[in-house]
Amino acid sequence: MADAVQIGARKGLACKAIGLSMRTIQRWQGDGEVKADKRPQAKRPVPANKLTEVERTLVIEICNRSEYASLPPSQIVPKLADQGEYIASESSFYRILNKAEQLNHRGRSRAASIRKAPTTHIAQDANEVWTWDISYLPTFV
């Protein structure tokens, strides 16, 4: 950066070229030397609206109730809102269930089965396997 400015480039254009703002460069430079990046060590405050552990366990308990066990959070949250109850947003429900590893099939119905690709028709070279699919042929019924 300093080399580009010494050669004659404008500081704003040089900053734009490297993808940083001029203020960031000013913060990083002190006493003529580049300082270390202090962003990882920065103390960040806890959000005021962060859910407590009690609220997180309540979300999991509600999702595991029999009437909500087979529903996704996109249906649970509106049903709770119809009853006048609000615990967390839909995205918070998804995030909490994902962290608890319950964001998969939770209902009483059978889970989706994983099917393998058919192994009966395997071609090693061109034109070895020919199949005929008649499901889309026009017909008169």
Residue 9, domain member (yes or no) = yes
92 assigned to some structural domain: yes
Q: Residue 81: inside a domain, yes or no?
A: yes
The least confident of 41-45, 106-110, 117-121, 129-133 is 106-110
**18 within a domain of the structure (yes/no):** yes
pTM of the predicted model as reported, rounded to 2 decimal places: 0.52
Q: Show the CA angle centred on residue 100, arms to residues 98 and 89, nearest 5°.
A: 55
* Tens digits of residue pLDDT in 29-62: 777 677 777 778 889 999 999 999 999 999 999 9
The count of structural domains within the chain is 2
Q: What's the pLDDT at 28?
A: 79
Same structural domain, 62 and 26: no
Enclosing domain of residue 8: 2-34
Please determine, for residue 133, whether its predicted confidence score (pLDDT) is greater than 90.
no
Assess whether 95 and 58 both reside in one domain.
yes
Instruction: Give domain status of residue 89, yes or no.
Output: yes
| In the chain, beta strands by DSSP E | 29-30, 33-34
Q: Is residue 89's pLDDT more than 80?
A: yes
- Angle, helix 53-63 to helix 90-99, in steps of 10 degrees: 90
Kindly state whether residue 118 falls inside one of the protein's structural domains: no
Judge whether residue 20 has pLDDT over 90.
no
